[in-house]
Amino acid sequence: MEKIRHHLVERPSEEGLTFLIFYLKNMSPMEVIYFFCTVSKILDRRSAVALLAYLRHAQSRGIKCPRYAQRSLNYHVHMLNKRILKRIPSTLNRFVPEMKLFDFTETRERRGGEEARKEFDPFRFLIDLVFETLVKSSNIEIENTVQTYFHEKKEEEFPSPVSEAFSLIGKIRDPGAVDKGISRIVRTLSVEDSLETLMFIRKNERYSLSFFLYAYLLNKEVYKSMVDIILENKQYFKLDVIKCLVELDVKRIIPKITDESVDVLSYVIRERETHVKEIVEMISEEKVAIGREGLLEVFKENYGALKDYASYFRLSDQELIEISKSNDQALALTLESVESQEGMNSFVDLLKEKEDTVVVDLVKSLEDGPKKESLIQTILRRRAVKGQLRIYLLDNYLEDSRFMYALLPYLEKSDVYKYIPDYVVDSESLNVFLRIMECSELLIFVHRIPEVSKAIRILDLCFKSSKFGESDFLFTLTTLEKELPVLIVRTLLQTLVKFPNLKNFVVSFLSRVVRRNIWKQEEMVEGVIKCFEMIGAPATEMIAYLDSDSMAKVLGRSKELRDLCHEYLRKGGTNKRHGKTLRSVMGKLGNK
């Protein structure tokens, strides 16, 4: 084979062709056939002449060739003869008609000895025939050979009467006539026709319902046979087929359902509500070959029918949350399963994606108790409260001490002030209000609270809080200077205690206050006296400028201030008029 390919294909030459022709008698039958097949494809003018000479010689003397290869060899020789006719010079055309196929008879007759005297061997003949057939390159040739020797004829297949009847259905245009035709066909069907009927129905779904209905009414055996095939064959166990069944045997259908036919389970649950418990029990007993994901989808789609049987599905908290994402009706069931704050946080995070009306309806549906309280508290911490939800919570829970502090940020600032007197009770509650307003705003409002005891309680909390700075108290005092509320001097005193570096401000502020009409308010008088005592010597200047009654009130209640004034007078402080008043008051007080 390699030499043939080398001399004819890779390096073709006239010498190479001559060499191969000479070598032909030593080639195997397959090599000879390969030679003739190849040379016919690369044939040119010169090689055509050489081959013409060889073929005339070989045809006259015969050629040795096994029986199985003889026909194939002659086929290639025949094709080569045709090609040679087109390539050789016109002067040699007269030799071409004389070209014939190889005659192997002469060669066989020259065989001598035992081989020539062998009797006909049918088995050998069959083997030679098979080999000869397989050499052919054409499938048609093989088929013709088989038919020639074995007289096999392809039987013509005729459609069955049922198939012909089905084909006629599609040609009917009148719907009424179609139904009549189907009813007649169904009457003639046998159990053996069930599969063919289903195949027709699958290809022509518009006739499905009619076929199943008439089969159920007119040919029950065929109907049962088709149902059996449907239940045992995935190809037909489809929702569009199941929908056409007149009867649904739950016990037979449910075990056949898989992930590929999970839609059938949803359909059966919807259509057989009276059997829902039975279906759920079969699911619980793992008689349905559906994965967890498929079961969750079924539960989502049929929540209304399955919610009372949720325990059969053994749903986890996370699975319930996944179900609730697409089904608002499942929120109550999901909330019922929440048992920890972490679970409540996850549940409220789910509510972030829900409309306000959905959340409001959920809260309304709950009875008062720890679960409802935890839900509202978590909503206020983790979910934006606005719109209808804000209105509902403010209207129903603002006066509830459990939720009041959490609801304050959702009030208008002007509405928050009225809750300060009663609900600022400790540092934590104070911080709640400070998230809504500035420190100075709260201080100013507290000074205006009519109930002094409540105001004092809140002011004490403010002075203890690290959130209040110098600027807050300075701004408050400056703002309230014209009003002079009852506790302003007390605040001034506490400011001095907390911020000693503000002594100059306190002295300046107090000097303006004592000139005001404050001496009839005992609370303020007590505060002024304490301030005088704290600032020490600078207070004597302010005392000296007071009228005699006010001066008497101050000095009569504080020995410390009287001592300061004695020292002040001894050093010759103040002018004559004010000094005279101070000496007069001091004289009246004597050694008190």
- pLDDT tens digits along 273-326: 888 888 888 888 888 888 888 888 888 888 888 888 888 888 888 888 888 888
Q: Which of 289, 288, 341, 298 is nearest to 319 (CA)?
A: 298
The backbone torsions φ and ψ at residue 156, rounded to the nearest 5 degrees and listed phi first, read -80, 130
Residue 152: per-residue pLDDT: 45
Task: Indicate the residue among 355, 379, 410 that finishes a domain.
Answer: 410
Q: What is the DSSP letter of 417?
A: G
Sequence-ordered list of residues with C-beta below 8 angstroms from that of 337, at least 6 positions apart, any chain: 315, 317, 320, 343
Q: Is residue 391 situated within a structural domain?
A: yes
Q: Is residue 8 situated within a structural domain?
A: yes
Question: Could you tell me if residue 286 is left (phi over 0), alpha (psi between -120 and 50 degrees) or otherwise beta?
Answer: left
Task: Indicate the residue among 375, 410, 445 that finishes a domain.
Answer: 410
Cβ–Cβ < 8 Å for 443, 462: yes
CA 346/CA 411 separation, integer angstroms: 27
| pLDDT above 70: percentage of residues in the chain | 82
| Average pLDDT score over residue span 215-221 | 92
Residue 521: per-residue pLDDT: 84
Q: Is residue 156 situated within a structural domain?
A: no
Q: Is residue 16 situated within a structural domain?
A: yes
Helix (H, G, I), strand (E, B) or coil at 547: coil
Q: Is residue 361 situated within a structural domain?
A: yes
Q: Is this structure's pTM higher than 0.85? A: no
CA 153/CA 397 separation, integer angstroms: 95
Residue 113: per-residue pLDDT: 47
Give the pLDDT confidence of 515-571 residue by residue, as tens digits.
Answer: 888 888 888 888 888 988 888 888 888 888 888 888 888 888 888 888 888 888 877
Q: Is residue 584 situated within a structural domain?
A: no
Cβ–Cβ < 8 Å for 523, 484: no
Q: Is residue 18 situated within a structural domain?
A: yes
Q: Is residue 50 situated within a structural domain?
A: yes
Task: Indicate the residue among 361, 376, 410 that finishes a domain.
Answer: 410
Residue 123: per-residue pLDDT: 60
Helices marked H in 292-369 — which ranges? Answer: 292-301, 303-306, 310-313, 317-326, 331-337, 341-351, 356-365
Residue 132 pLDDT exceeds 90: no
Q: Which amino acid is at 256?
A: K
Q: What's the domain count of the chain?
A: 2
Q: Most distant CA pair in the chain: distance in Å?
A: 178
Position 137 confidence tier, pLDDT thresholds 50, 70, 90:
very low
Please tell me the least confidently modeled range out of 271-275, 401-405, 469-473, 476-480: 271-275
Range of the domain at 351: 315-410
CA 408/CA 433 separation, integer angstroms: 8
